[in-house]
Structure 1
Amino acid sequence: MTTDKDEVGQGSEIAEVFLYGVMKNHYKALPVVPKIFYKQNVQDNAKGADSVHIVINEAEDDFSLWFGEAKFYNSIADARLDAVVSSVYASLDTGKLRKENAIITNVSDLDQLILAAPLREKIKAALSSQVSIDHLKPKIHVPILIIHQCADTAACAELSDEYRAQISAHHTSRAESYFSKQLAGSSKVNSP
């Protein structure tokens, strides 16, 4: 069993690495602050978002900002989903967004990744502490990756149609539950 030693598995390195891979390979995202690489020891959980990526839209000479949350749980029951919803809303707090933006603009990763100087300056200007977070919010995406120990998968001996249907129904139910909880808690996100 590969899980973290903390009680709920938050900040699990395996989930963070997987999210990093999804963002980099599927979305072609630039890892502006690959927090998994900034950890100083194995007990150190990422502070703030578990991943920070920028996706470039070359056709529009624009970008989107991705603050990822990654969790590794032994269960994805509703009680665990509450913790994920709380974590996502906490990460959207104006003060936390400003701190993330300060980290992005103060490390050299951004200068090394984005070659076009005008776009790099546009990104830095949008992330500036002098600019209202309201202008940045439409560009923010929060990918949520939850890896869990699945009893159905552990009991499965082959990739049958029955297993696929069972897993699909289970995860559809979990996703619906998560989004219901997210909508119910949406008033928790503060405005600047």
Structure 2
Amino acid sequence: MEWITDYALKSDELRNTNHANIYVRLQQAASRVYISENYKRRGEVGEIAAHAICRTFFDTMPVAARVNYLSASNDPVKAFDLVHVRYLEGDKFELWLGEAKFFKSRDAAVKDAIASIESHVNAGFLKNEKLLLGPQISDDIPHSDRIKALLASETSLDALIENAVFPVIIAANSDAAVNNSRPCDAYAESITDEMNALWGRLASSGLTKKIKLRLIYVPLADKDKLNAAFDTRLKGLQN
């Protein structure tokens, strides 16, 4: 929940957040995540987890808040779930275009992720995504002009794919999480086996030979309980 402001607010809003308006900012962020009563089939928990993990462990920076290009009714749209930039040595950078899946079943999650990524990397989708994302790029991030150029309509899709990393975030029920109450060797081994199985599915799809994929696995004890708890806290902030 502490990541919803970073996930949902624009860079200028975050920059102007202080002790006097932090609660107002939290309410704004909570309202932008979703306002639907039908939360059970929504995937924002997975998207926020993806955002937090990439920010924390890979030092990425959002270039366009996901909620900035949701529809007015707060309905999900067919777009990448995460659009970040990762700065490398010198003046190099990677554009991170992520897909997050928040499911009960790991098998269903990775199957859906493969289908989504396959549809996302076709020419038609990427062209539309570039048109959608270009105007959303913040001017105050490093190399914003080069990032906008990469997303310009006249720039080839090959150039975009060459500079892109496609993280696939799988947040799903885990046998290891259910069967272990604390971190231990048995838990680590089981988690490794589950993650290797997911990576095997991605590799066998052929996607790893076409694009730069990163698998991020979030093992859950009970997806439905987590979703319900998140919804309760989110609605509490909205009231």
TM-score for the superposition, normalised by structure 1: 0.76
C-alpha spacing 1:139/1:36, structure 2 compared with 1 (3 Å): same
SS in 2 for 1:87: helix
Letter of the structure 1 residue corresponding to residue 115 of structure 2: S
Matched-pair contact (CA < 8 Å) for 2:71–2:77: no
Matched-pair contact (CA < 8 Å) for 1:85–1:181: yes
Aligned to 2:53: 22
Aligned to 1:104: 133
Aligned to 2:117: 88
Counterparts of 1:169 and 1:85 in 2: how far apart (Å)? 19
Matched-pair contact (CA < 8 Å) for 1:69–1:142: yes
SS in 1 for 2:106: coil
Letter of the structure 2 residue corresponding to residue 65 of structure 1: L
Aligned to 1:173: 197
Q: 1:75-130: per-residue Cα shift (whole Å, max 9, x none)?
A: 112x44222111011111222212222222212x421323xxxx332222222101
Matched-pair contact (CA < 8 Å) for 1:102–1:128: yes
Counterparts of 2:138 and 2:126 in 1: how far apart (Å)? 17
Matched-pair contact (CA < 8 Å) for 1:16–1:70: yes
Gaps of 5+ in 2: 1-37, 211-239
Counterparts of 2:59 and 2:130 in 1: how far apart (Å)? 20
Equivalent position to 2:166, from 142, 165, 168: 142
C-alpha spacing 1:46/1:20, structure 2 compared with 1 (3 Å): farther
Please list, as runs of the form range in 1=range in 2, the aligned pairs for 1:1-192 lying within 5 A after superposition. 4-6=39-41, 12-36=43-67, 39=70, 44-59=75-90, 61-77=91-107, 79-107=108-136, 109-114=137-142, 119-183=143-207
SS in 2 for 1:142: strand
Counterparts of 2:66 and 2:74 in 1: how far apart (Å)? 14
Counterparts of 2:146 and 2:181 in 1: how far apart (Å)? 52
Letter of the structure 2 residue corresponding to residue 62 of structure 1: K
The worse-fitting range, judged by mean Cα deviation, of 132-141 and 175-184 is 175-184
SS in 1 for 2:205: helix
Counterparts of 1:41 and 1:129 in 2: how far apart (Å)? 25
Segments ≥4 residues shifted beyond 3 Å:
36-43, 182-186
Q: 1:129-178: per-residue Cα shift (whole Å, max 9, x none)?
A: 01221222210110010000123312323333223222222322232123
Q: Which structure would you say has the larger RCO, counting Cα contacts within 8 Å and 6 or more residues apart? A: 1
What is the identity percentage for the equivalent residue pairs of Structure 1 and Structure 2? Answer: 25
TM-score for the superposition, normalised by structure 2: 0.63
Residue 23 of structure 1: CA displacement? 2.0
Paired positions, count: 173
Counterparts of 1:71 and 1:42 in 2: how far apart (Å)? 22
Alpha-carbon RMSD across the aligned residues, in angstroms, is: 2.7
Counterparts of 2:140 and 2:208 in 1: how far apart (Å)? 40
